[in-house]
Amino acid sequence: MTAPTPRKAHIVYAHPEPKSFVAAMRDRVSERLTADGWQVGLSDLHAMGFNPVASAADFVEREKPDYLVYSLEQRHGWQRRALAPDILAEVEAVRQAELLVLVFPVFWFSVPAIMKGWIDRVFLSGLFYGGKRIYDRAPMAGKRALVVTSLGGRSHMFGETGIHGSIELMLRPLLQGSLGYVGYEVFKPFVAYHVPYVTQAERGAMLEQLGRETDALSRRETLVFPSLDAYDEVLRPLERCVERIGDAGEQGSDVQRAVEINRRLRTPASRR
């Protein structure tokens, strides 16, 4: 009897210190996924010397050599497989993976530059997104993504009443604008707080918690992003969806109403 093909996960890791706590988080996720039967790949961006700068050099051949429109050249480059070798290798690793895991420290409410550059160069226009091939109709729909990150702030500084707001809002350009946009179902991120200032024992407890949460990944809460079912051909909200919320007598900003529309569209009635 043929053994089943293992599920593939790919970890993209960014930290300049090989012995960092973020590296320990990377290893813990990899260990737990492997123990659960996943085949785990790794892109260690600093160790690879990954170039984060998008440029004309990313294209072996150009459709319009006299003027660079990067996203359009990405489409042409993918069609001809005329992209820099490092881009092609990363694209293939991501395409094969059912689960994408990004592991990094928060820098300035965002990802490190090397991670942002990886997204810029690897999430190709035409292959990962394009036109109305976004969110739940994008090419990565059906796959999942997890963000594992650390920061210096304390946990009480984040959330609806925290001084910095919620982690999900802070990382919205990544969680929604990158991962969700290309179709991933995105798990609620794992965040290790106040890492540089806690004891070794406390860091160990964080790693244990990460291991347990990785083991329970299939049951982990996912974030709500727009569904194209709520929008027309030019991406205006459908009247029936807006009326559905209005009829319920719910108030709030346009953003809150849009989130509620999409939550209802994407949440089974039995769970509402």
DSSP type of residue 59: B
User: With contact defined as beta carbons under 8 Å apart, do 266 and 227 qualify?
Assistant: yes
Residue whose C-alpha is closest to residue 34's, from 6, 5, 4, 3: 6
Residue whose C-alpha is closest to residue 115's, from 189, 26, 10, 14: 14
pTM of the model: 0.87
Per-residue pLDDT at 252 exceeds 90: no
User: With contact defined as beta carbons under 8 Å apart, do 257 and 222 qualify?
Assistant: no
Give the separation between CA 162 and CA 156, rounded to whole angstroms: 6
SS3 at position 197: helix
User: With contact defined as beta carbons under 8 Å apart, do 137 and 182 qualify?
Assistant: no
Residues 6+ apart with CB under 8 A from 208: none
Compute CA distances 52 → 28, 87, 129, whole Å: 26, 10, 20
Tokens linked to 14: 């960014």
User: With contact defined as beta carbons under 8 Å apart, do 87 and 121 qualify?
Assistant: yes
Per-residue pLDDT at 2 exceeds 90: no
Q: pLDDT (tens digit, 9 = 90+) per residue, 142-198?
A: 999 999 999 999 999 999 899 999 999 999 999 999 999 999 999 999 999 999 999
Q: pLDDT (tens digit, 9 = 90+) per residue, 108-126?
A: 999 999 999 999 999 999 9
Per-residue pLDDT at 217 exceeds 70: yes
Mean pLDDT of 4-24: 94
Residue entry with tokens 């989130």: 259
- Confidence class of residue 1 from pLDDT cuts 50, 70 and 90? low
- Confidence class of residue 248 from pLDDT cuts 50, 70 and 90? very low
Tokens linked to 3: 């053994």
Q: pLDDT (tens digit, 9 = 90+) per residue, 58-117?
A: 999 999 999 999 999 999 999 999 999 999 999 999 999 999 999 999 999 999 999 999
**Higher per-residue pLDDT: 162 or 251:** 162
- pLDDT reported for residue 6: 86
Give the separation between CA 226 and CA 256, rounded to whole angstroms: 12
Residue whose C-alpha is closest to residue 86's, from 40, 112, 41, 52: 52
Please name the helix (run of DSSP H) or strand (run of DSSP E) that holds residue 75, with its range, or none. helix 70-80
- pLDDT reported for residue 270: 40
User: With contact defined as beta carbons under 8 Å apart, do 11 and 109 qualify?
Assistant: no
Residues 6+ apart with CB under 8 A from 246: none
- Confidence class of residue 239 from pLDDT cuts 50, 70 and 90? confident
Q: What is the mean pLDDT of the chain?
A: 90
Residue whose C-alpha is closest to residue 180's, from 151, 139, 219, 217: 139
* Mean pLDDT lowest among 54-58, 128-132, 257-261: 257-261
Type of residue numbered 258: A
Percentages of the chain per state (helix, strand, coil), in multiples of 5: 45, 15, 40
